[in-house]
Structure 1
Amino acid sequence: MESFKVPTREEVSADNQAIFDNLKSQVGFVPNLYATYTHSENGLADYLTLANRKTTLSGKEKEVINLVVSEVNDCTYCKAAHTAIGKMNGFTEEQILEIRSGEASFDPKLDALAKYVKSAVINRSKPEQSTIEALFDAGYTKENLVDTIILVGDKTISNLLYGSTSIPVDFPTAQELETAAV
């Protein structure tokens, strides 16, 4: 496989340099995965537009989706990044591990979301009907379902980029699940 170097600020266009500067001011650094998007001139801007779109989902709900998708797809980078972001959103390490397994027994609504997302990703876009029904029974709407699907797609894009490049992970390593849940 061709080696992918993570582009530095000096190696990207002026437009991408501005995005790097904005990320550095907001996040404190430019995550390697984001920098890797700049191998395409418009890749990072396009991805950030998708990732930062308005949604009906809360920060915690978004992290449930990100964690489940990243676990099912075994994305080391995204598991590490979203473990850190999940903690910033108030989840404990134990809750994050449970979410990554596709459950959230500590919150019935998040549990339905985690189970739906796991089913959708494992079954390659054909979730079990029971998980869709459970999602609606838990109080989610059709709009929430569409926003969930968009976020599954968003996270899958990043999982694919990491899986194709194996760039260095610049977040603390996520603990592995003790048993293979997926």
Structure 2
Amino acid sequence: MSRQYFPTHTVESAPAGSRSAMESTQRHLGHLPEAVGRMAESPEALTGFLEMSAKFERSTMDPVAREVVVLTIATRNVCHLCVAMHTAKLTKLKADPAVISALRDGTELPDPRLAAVRRFTLELLATAGSPSTESLDDFLSHGFTTRNALEVVLGIGTYTLSTFANRLTEAPVDERMAAFAWEPATV
């Protein structure tokens, strides 16, 4: 069922408050993703997401660990677009294909450090930010810091916004991401 409520804006058709962010995204990526065109309906949502995303990218966690946070949220929230986009990003980062597959499939990660990131992310989500002492200790015992723990919270906020917006607007997987399309594993 297609959502006719959320048009895919161009820079010209978007609300004025979204245009600068759209132009910047287009310059940065070389194209304007349809999801951005749909989120542009709300300049506050679009610019809020882009600003939060940029801050998360500048966090002290390494890029692959950040992507573990993102894919954990994307698969949990069943955001087909986010899974495809962040699979592409992990591939570009030359992440272990077994890690990428495990994240997409919801199976055990072969890297104990990255598995600790996923467990901690899921614990924060399950407890609304109130993890057990054991969960926090486990995360910290894998070389992460209390600063990183708060950065996971930032990632959760950022990518919850993105996954919810993409699902609400039914943003499709762009042709550029088709090779990374995803369907959740059946139980």
Q: TM-score, normalised by structure 1?
A: 0.85
8 Å CA contact 1:69–1:152 kept in 2: the answer is yes
Q: Which runs of 4+ in 1 moved over 6 A?
A: none
Match among 139, 146, 150 for residue 146 of structure 1? 150
Supply the AA of the counterpart residue of 1:85: K
1:90 is matched with 94
Give the superposition deviation at 1:139: 1.3
Please state if 1:60 is matched with 2:64.
yes
**Which moves more between the two structures, 137-146 or 52-61?**
52-61
Question: Cα deviations across residues 106-155 of structure 1 (Å, max 9, x unaligned)?
Answer: x2211111111123324544445433221011111110000111101111
Q: TM-score, normalised by structure 2?
A: 0.83
- 2:40 aligned counterpart, secondary structure: helix
* Distance in 1, Cα, partners of 2:47 & 2:155: 17
RMSD: 2.2
Gaps of 5+ in 1: none
8 Å CA contact 1:103–1:114 kept in 2: the answer is no
- 1:11 aligned counterpart, secondary structure: coil
8 Å CA contact 2:83–2:181 kept in 1: the answer is yes
| CA spacing shift, 1:97–1:131, aligned 2, 3 Å | farther
Gaps of 5+ in 2: none
**Which moves more between the two structures, 107-116 or 96-105?**
96-105
* Distance in 2, Cα, partners of 1:16 & 1:8: 10
| CA spacing shift, 1:167–1:99, aligned 2, 3 Å | closer
Give the superposition deviation at 1:66: 0.5
Supply the AA of the counterpart residue of 1:4: F
* Distance in 2, Cα, partners of 1:114 & 1:102: 11
Q: How many residues align?
A: 179
What percentage of residue pairs aligned between the two structures are identical? Answer: 23
8 Å CA contact 1:102–1:115 kept in 2: the answer is no
